[in-house]
């Protein structure tokens, strides 16, 4: 009687937001490339952005597919087809969306019972999956779309009393002295979710982090040895999956300017001369704030590419100052909608990145070796700003004080053009401080690329995870002649 081990089957359950789905898809591709069967669970509307990616992976011989579940939009009062976080425009829609998300657990459990995979990798925003996985005795791994630094700092919020909003304090016990204000930590209504996430971590088999060891080594060690979390750093996952090419299909929507036009435009610029400006797929600034950004970029004289989230429902919300686009022609490029961010950041002409500090953007920026201007808005973004500016020292903060503004268009206070222009000139000038910052950023980029090589830290950590999951599998018995 001989035994054989059947193919490892892993389910992936990404949160329904582009910034969560893209890295989760990359992780599913990593597993499939190592011989596992990867099954992504998502809704019909969200699946459309990844169908061509899955088709190409399958054509390459990788076992990867999508299982669809129904999103209960109408049951919670959302428009039919409103299935993604980036399509929300009000706090009321967000609350309805989260109610609908919580209703997905029944469908998830039904799929897990039917297929009983060897492991489920679920987004951190689905803490309830840990209970289902425990009941079915399936290892549950949490994918955190956050940095180790943010995870360590967030852990502080559920274990310590935090002073008043205006009082600055030291985030105790962290490897570096980090001074923050209460206003940059989660509001009370969010803390309950943070506590649920922490409890889910403790019940899970482990945690995947889209980071690499050389980026934040002391925080990787702190998270594992002090916070006592089992984890694997497997990033940057965009580099792990796309070492030679960028899979643009899964980056989503159409824009007013295509990829090749952006790259051709950059080809005509000097090295490190262009500032890339993007605030992710969620932020939709008010018209007055857009005007402040536009006037600052124009006044700075620095060449730039500015990506503005498009609003198909209301083009008026993307309106720029009259005559602005004509005045900056040749000097600036406006992209409304999707932009090939990884390719732009990797271009030699790009020398800086103004960002909302979403972790995907930070990882892609450091992978490209560019320094930052930081403008965080909510969630882990304020922690990522501290990592970039205080620990890594590769960024300049705009000093934005209003925290956790999920809907920037509702901000009462504006970041003024003078502050924005000053930061742009400080980062993009040839002064000694800027040159030293750029040198640090370039070193981080080199370390990112080294981490995903065959013997790099992220590749080794991912291989160790695969071996551990395979070792847990029960062998199948088979008769021999």
pLDDT tens digit sequence for 187-215: 666 667 777 777 778 788 999 999 999 99
pTM for the predicted model, two decimal places: 0.89
* Cα–Cα separations (whole angstroms), residue 7 to 26, 56, 345, 381: 20, 21, 38, 38
- Give the per-residue pLDDT at 173: 73
- Give the per-residue pLDDT at 391: 94
* Cα–Cα separations (whole angstroms), residue 315 to 89, 92, 251, 283, 318: 13, 21, 22, 15, 6
Residue 480: pLDDT above 60? no
Residue 26: pLDDT above 80? yes
Strand residues in 330-457 grouped as ranges (E) = 332-336, 350-355, 372-374, 395-397
Domains in the chain: ranges and CATH: 2-243+452-478 (3.40.50.2000), 253-447 (3.40.50.2000)
More confident site: 407 or 213: 213
The encoded tokens of residue 354 equal 């103004």
Residue 101: pLDDT above 80? yes
**Reduced DSSP (H G I as helix, E B as strand, rest coil) percent helix, strand, coil of the chain, to 5:** 45, 15, 40
More confident site: 162 or 170: 170
User: 11, 119 in Cβ contact below 8 A?
Assistant: yes
User: In the predicted model, what is the mean pLDDT of residues 73-81?
Assistant: 90
State the pLDDT confidence band at 183, using cuts at 50, 70 and 90.
low
More confident site: 433 or 256: 433
CA–CA gap between residue 260 and residue 243 (Å, rounded): 19
Phi-psi region of 462 (alpha: psi -120 to 50; beta: other; left: phi over 0): alpha
- Give the per-residue pLDDT at 317: 65
Say how many Å lie between the first and final Cα of the chain, rounded.
9
CA–CA gap between residue 244 and residue 371 (Å, rounded): 23
* Cα–Cα separations (whole angstroms), residue 406 to 94, 117, 311, 317, 427: 10, 36, 16, 16, 27
- Catalytic site positions: 20, 123
Strand residues in 318-409 grouped as ranges (E) = 332-336, 350-355, 372-374, 395-397
Closest C-alpha to 378, from 169, 165, 187, 96? 187
- Give the per-residue pLDDT at 18: 85
State the pLDDT confidence band at 2, using cuts at 50, 70 and 90.
very low
In this predicted structure, which of 2-6, 32-36, 422-426, 444-448 has the lowest mean pLDDT? 2-6
User: 397, 385 in Cβ contact below 8 A?
Assistant: yes
- Give the per-residue pLDDT at 456: 94
Angle at 13 between CA 456 and CA 40, to 5 degrees: 80
Pairing of β 304-308 and β 332-336: parallel
User: In the predicted model, what is the mean pLDDT of residues 295-312?
Assistant: 88
Question: What residues contact residue 101 under an 8 Å CB cut-off, 6+ apart?
Answer: 15, 16, 125, 126
CA–CA gap between residue 178 and residue 185 (Å, rounded): 13
Helix (H, G, I), strand (E, B) or coil at 47: helix
User: In the predicted model, what is the mean pLDDT of residues 4-25?
Assistant: 88
């Amino acid at each position: 009687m001989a035994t054989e081990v059947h193919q490892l089957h892993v389910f992936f359950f990404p949160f329904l937001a582009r910034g969560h789905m893209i890295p989760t898809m990359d992780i599913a591709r990593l597993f499939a490339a190592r011989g596992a069967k990867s099954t992504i669970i998502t809704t019909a509307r969200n699946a459309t952005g990844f169908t061509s990616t899955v088709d190409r992976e399958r054509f390459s011989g990788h076992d990867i597919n999508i299982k669809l579940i129904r999103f209960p939009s109408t049951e919670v009062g959302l428009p039919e087809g409103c299935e993604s976080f980036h399509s929300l425009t009000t706090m009321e829609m967000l609350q309805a969306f989260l109610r609908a998300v919580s209703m997905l657990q029944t469908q998830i459990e039904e799929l897990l019972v039917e297929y009983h995979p060897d492991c489920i990798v679920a987004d951190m925003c689905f803490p309830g999956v840990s209970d289902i996985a425990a009941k079915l005795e399936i290892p549950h791994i949490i994918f955190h779309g956050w940095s180790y630094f943010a995870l360590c700092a967030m852990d502080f919020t559920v274990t310590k009393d935090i002073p008043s909003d205006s009082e600055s304090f030291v985030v105790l016990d962290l490897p570096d002295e980090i001074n923050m204000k209460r206003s940059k930590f989660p509001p009370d209504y969010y803390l309950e979710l943070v506590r649920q996430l922490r409890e889910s971590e403790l019940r899970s088999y482990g945690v995947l982090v889209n980071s690499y060891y050389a980026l934040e080594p002391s925080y990787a060690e702190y998270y594992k040895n002090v916070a006592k979390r089992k984890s694997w750093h497997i990033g940057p996952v965009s580099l792990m999956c796309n070492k030679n090419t960028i899979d643009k299909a899964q980056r989503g929507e159409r824009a007013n300017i295509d990829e090749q036009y952006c790259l051709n435009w950059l080809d005509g610029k000097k090295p490190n001369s262009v500032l890339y400006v993007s605030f992710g797929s969620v932020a939709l600034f008010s018209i007055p704030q857009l005007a402040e950004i536009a006037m600052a970029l124009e006044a700075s004289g620095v060449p730039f590419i500015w990506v503005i989230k498009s609003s198909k429902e209301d083009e008026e919300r993307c309106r720029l100052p009259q005559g602005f686009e004509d005045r900056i022609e040749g000097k600036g490029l406006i992209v409304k909608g999707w932009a090939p961010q990884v390719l732009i950041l990797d271009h030699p002409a790009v020398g800086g990145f103004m960002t909302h500090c979403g972790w995907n953007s930070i990882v892609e920026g450091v992978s490209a070796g560019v320094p930052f201007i930081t403008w965080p808005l909510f969630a882990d973004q304020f922690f990522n700003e501290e990592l970039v500016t205080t620990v890594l020292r590769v960024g300049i903060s705009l000093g934005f004080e209003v925290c956790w503004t999920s809907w920037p268009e509702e901000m009462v206070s504006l970041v003024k053009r003078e502050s924005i222009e000053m930061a742009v000139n400080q980062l993009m000038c040839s002064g000694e401080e800027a040159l030293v910052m750029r040198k640090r950023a370039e070193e981080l980029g080199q370390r990112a690329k080294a981490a995903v090589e065959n013997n790099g830290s992220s590749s080794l950590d991912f291989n160790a995870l695969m071996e551990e999951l395979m070792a847990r599998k029960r062998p199948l018995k088979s008769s021999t002649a």
